[in-house]
Structure 1
Amino acid sequence: MEDKGKKRKGLEAAIKDKVIPLIGQSMEKHWGLKIPKIEEDISDRLSQSSLDSFIHFSLPFEDAKKKFKADFLRRELIKYRGNISLLAKFLGINRRSIHRAIKELGIHVDRLEMKSYSLRDEHEKYVDNIIRSSFDQYKGLINEEKIEKIYQDIPKLSKNIAFSIPDQEMTWKEAEIAFEKEYFQYHLKNKKESTKELAGRICLRPETVCRKLKKLGLNK
């Protein structure tokens, strides 16, 4: 499996060399100009984890983590058509650990719809949503006809961008770290809140919060 640092560099290079030019070309084609803020917004969001939809920020930490693990593992089981051996290889854990997690998280494998699963299709939908929401901010500021032309271009644009960005496969450990980092970054937005107050809000001990923030390289 590729080193995490190399995967990150590959993603950043793809965004800089392929994604930004594609977005710029689309704007120039339909608007006759480029808006750097849109390029920056889309690039920043694409460079982040695509796991946001699995993170329930309103839940206490332990509940949110358990829900995240269940949703993530359920998706991976469907992706690999219930093949535990193959899934274990890509998640970087043994088969016994997967079976234990399935039991602890209450996942009923026999009830999952093991349909033909396309990671590329899911990635295209994820990219499409980011592009649409970024352009949505300019409704009312850009001529309606010009906005519509961009929207008509989004399906093709999303497909090309999804194809340009390397797949971000994650091990079980990487997914856990990504969850914790995004969860805490979200809850650290209130700069005036003390560590004790934050800990109480997400149902953890203050010393646990301090330890996790230090480990994740985050500052309170």
Structure 2
Amino acid sequence: MTEPWQPDEAMAAFIELDHDRARRRGYPEAVYCEGKTPGQVRSAALAIKASGTTTLFTRADPAHTKSVLSVLPDARYDEDARMLAWPPDPPAPRGGQVLVVAAGTADFGVAREAQLTAVYLGRAADLVTDVGIAGLHRILARLDQLRSARVIVVVAGMDGALPGLVAGLVSAPVIAVPTSVGYGAALGGVAALLTMLNSCSPGVAVVNIDNGYGAGHLAAQIAAPA
């Protein structure tokens, strides 16, 4: 009997990958795995292998990961980011420095997704963690690092106040990422999202809740070589 995650011809018929994206936009294809069956993701991996297209697989759970690695065994998997990259080696970094800042350890997975996305899109990207505003000295101790970045991604849940604080300290643009971290009134990240959208610090752009990939992609574009 065929395993449930194996693709079939009907499944493959629904897949039309954007193999031309890297030439057209300068950045490669990405496959969002959440909501797809493992078989559909495996069919995408087969198409990617046949074309040789550089690809990121985002929001991959263990079953998705098994499917991808059955076709692309050398793909790099990062458990925290829930991301696979193929080919496994990122391009040599060019352009400006990206800095990803995570308010708390609970925000780490989204921050790691943002960092790896920027890295695989060709940027140098560092990650600073656990510098939320509950201990203000932690972010203030990073001022030199913050001010050396071309663009900063700030990932925060709870009240989502960290991006506005960071933007008030630096000249670089800040990309704010609300996370679904927090108690009941955090509303699954909506409270953080609204705080970020209402930031009184200019120069803050906001992506959707938990969208580390979108933030990392935008950061890579902002930090692209002139």
Specify the TM-score bucket, using the shorter chain as the normaliser: under 0.3
Structure number with higher strand proportion: 2
TM-score (norm 2): 0.22
Query: Looking at both structures, which has the greater relative contact order when contacts are Cα pairs under 8 Å and sequence separation is at least 6?
Result: 1
TM-score (norm 1): 0.22
